[in-house]
Amino acid sequence: MKKKGFKGAVVIMLVLVFTSGIIFAAGSAEAAAKPTRKLSIAHVFATNHPVHVALLEANAMLKEKSNGRLELNIYPNGTYANYNDAVQAVIMGQLDMAPLDSASEYLPKSGVLLGPYVFRSYGHWTNFKNSDLYENLKDDISKAVGVKQLDLYNFGFRNMTGNRPLTKLEDFQKLKLRVVNFPPYSEIATVFNAIGTSLPIGDVYMGLQAGVVDAQENPLTQIVTMKFYEVQKYLMLTQHMLAVAGTIMSEQTWNSLSSEDQKIVEEVFRFEADRIDQIVRDNENALIDEVKKAGMTVVDKIDTKPFRDRVGLVLERNPSWVELYNQIQRISD
């Protein structure tokens, strides 16, 4: 009786082990068969630009945090589409993600983020990002554009270049200043009292070289990567605007993610945005040294008060900015 009971127990154990093995193997096969979801993101920047560098790091984090369920498929250098087409593709659900500079076309008040002399310092920007005002604005942009607005970042303060020193309002009279060819960037011409001339970024170098425009303004990162130091002699550290942008995700893509994966994506793109901010700040002095070595004269002692005094003219032209502008000004540095 004892032997028979023992044999029966052994048989039951073998059956359980065999069954468990089948279940484990089936589970492993199912896990292995489950494909990695690739989220496509397109941008117009070079592969050495802070946005692309941070995206590569964000991709590694995304794969790790999702245990390989999610990863990024990154299209740099405008290889997927130009800026505007990429944004429209995200809104239409044809592309998962892209950078968005300004949602002012959909939410006019958000244009103030790219207004002249809105942010006083990097500390001011950081404190804004840590405020309820910032979180509420992201939600407002999401609803107005019909996307998921992820975290915002900056490319650094925009500065002026020219072939002569430009430090006073009178220096800008009748000067043809290249401005970005969509609002609210064109308001830069208002604060400097210059003649704003729109040119796509790809045409700026030749435009400066040919005299189509006399001067241009951009963050240091862009000035160096586009080699504007080859066709401009002076860099004026006017710091007239913080170049702000952020990542948007297709609403369809966002809604298709589980709540767990939504949380991971938000965490990863919060890292990405903060990482871009960090890279920009860390590189700023090196970029100034680079343009000096390339032969540019850097003018850093500029009285910006006359330019700041003209911000009121910009607010008059953009009344939807006023409340948000004032709220941002009340945030400390």
Helices H / strands E in the chain, number of each:
13, 9
Give the residue from 148, 325, 164 showing the smallest Cα distance to 251: 148
Task: Count how many domains the chain has.
Answer: 1
- Residue 44's pLDDT is 92
What gap in Å lies between CA 247 and CA 194, rounded to an integer?
32
Q: Which helix (H) or strand (E) holds 43?
A: none
Return the SS3 of 281: helix
CA 280 from centre of chain? 12
214 lies in some domain: yes
Q: Range of 209's domain?
A: 35-329
In terms of Cβ atoms closer than 10 Å to its own Cβ (0-12, 13-18, 19+), residue 69 is: middle
Contacts of 151 (CB under 8 A, 6+ apart): 129, 138, 246, 247, 266, 269, 270, 272, 273, 274
Return the SS3 of 192: helix
30 lies in some domain: no
- Residue 201: other Cβ atoms inside 10 A: 16
15 lies in some domain: no
What amino acid occupies position 168? K
- Residue 221's pLDDT is 87
Low-confidence ranges of the chain (pLDDT < 70): 1-34
What gap in Å lies between CA 330 and CA 210, rounded to an integer?
44
CATH code of the domain in which 156 resides: 3.40.190.170
- Residue 5's pLDDT is 53
Q: Which helix (H) or strand (E) holds 233?
A: none
- Record the tokens describing residue 222, joined without a space: 């862009």
164 lies in some domain: yes
63 lies in some domain: yes
- Residue 7's pLDDT is 52
Q: Are 169 and 193 in contact (CB under 8 A)?
A: yes
What gap in Å lies between CA 134 and CA 132, rounded to an integer?
5
Contacts of 169 (CB under 8 A, 6+ apart): 192, 193, 306, 307
Q: pLDDT tens digit string along 32-47?
A: 446 799 999 999 998 9
Instruction: Give the CB-side neighbour count of residue 21, counting CA atoms within 13 A.
Output: 6
What amino acid occupies position 171? D
- Residue 210: other Cβ atoms inside 10 A: 10
180 lies in some domain: yes
- Residue 128's pLDDT is 98
- Residue 22's pLDDT is 46
97 lies in some domain: yes
In terms of Cβ atoms closer than 10 Å to its own Cβ (0-12, 13-18, 19+), residue 211 is: exposed
284 lies in some domain: yes
User: Where does the chain show beta strands of DSSP type E?
Assistant: 37-42, 70-75, 97-100, 147-162, 176-179, 195-198, 216-219, 234-250, 297-299
What gap in Å lies between CA 316 and CA 79, rounded to an integer?
39
What gap in Å lies between CA 194 and CA 210, rounded to an integer?
19
